[in-house]
Amino acid sequence: MTLAEAKIVDSTRKFVEKWMRSDFSGHDFYHVLRVYDTALYLSEGLEVNEFTIRMAALLHDVDDPKLRKPHAKIKHAIDFMLSIKLPQEKIDPIMDIIDNMSYSAHLRGQKVRSLEGKIVQDADRLDAIGAIGIARAFAYGGHKNRHLFAGDIDDESSLAHFYQKLLKLPKLMNTEKGKLLAKKKIKTMKQYLKAFHEEWILPHELIKQNEEA
């Protein structure tokens, strides 16, 4: 990465920090930094465009529809890159990653095509599982006024989201490093879910189970 590109990354980091500082849904600037650092780790030893990875990781949630008003049509990521006069040939691969990396995009049949995109996608998915993933799931659920759990893994609660999406992410990892990290992190989630369901049982039922054990 050139010195000029390093300066662009630094200005992008400051832009994203300002943009995301007031988010409390689990998609805050700290999430962005974790995705950024993880993406760099996953890219070690691979022949990739480091600038593209850094920029896509920093900007990946700026236009996330979950966080923006439904009627908003401005693409803030593109707008920012144009404002700093980034050439279109550098913008295109970054936006290709951002536009195709989400789980909702996956459900629509969209795929990231570059190795850089697969790396950033893995980094983002890794932050959705494990201990951090658990915390983020409930933070987002609170942001959306969802119940912790309503007794059914097909409901609209925060815990149901684990079964509807989060537990499926390890099988969607692209990189070998991503697969290894996901395997470890998903164990944490499964252990947590086991404990959650045990504590969810009504107290008298739990006491009866203990007496029968």
Above 60 in pLDDT, residue 192?
yes
Counting Cβ atoms within 10 Å, is residue 178 exposed (0-12), middle (13-18) or buried (19+)? buried
Domain 128-213 is in which class? Answer: mainly alpha
State the span(s) of the chain assigned CATH 1.20.58.1910.
128-213
How far is 81 from 58, CA to CA, in rounded Å?
Answer: 12
pLDDT at 43: 98
- Asked if the model's pLDDT at residue 159 lies above 70, the reply is yes
Nearest 5°: the CA angle 84, 89, 90 is: 50
Predicted confidence (pLDDT) per residue in 41-83, tens digit = 999 999 999 999 999 999 999 987 766 544 445 578 999 999 9
Structural contact between residues 28 and 20, judged by C-beta atoms closer than 8 angstroms: yes
Which CATH number fits the domain 1-114, given the four candidates 2.40.50.140, 3.40.50.720, 1.10.472.50, 3.30.1330.40? 1.10.472.50
Question: Tens digits of per-residue pLDDT, 105-148?
Answer: 999 999 999 999 999 999 999 999 999 999 999 999 999 999 99
pLDDT tens-digit map of 166-187: 999 999 999 999 999 999 999 9
Average pLDDT along the chain: 91
CB 173 within 8 A of CB 121: no
Give the whole-angstrom CA distance, residue 171 versus residue 13: 31
Chain-centroid distance of CA 86 in Å reads: 25
Q: Flag whether pLDDT at 26 surpasses 70.
A: yes
Distance CA 70, CA 173 (A): 29
Start-end of CATH 1.10.472.50 domains in the chain: 1-114
More confident residue, 1 or 65: 1
The pLDDT value recorded for residue 74 is 52
For residues 91 and 82, is the Cβ–Cβ distance under 8 A? Answer: yes
Task: Tell me how long the chain is.
Answer: 213
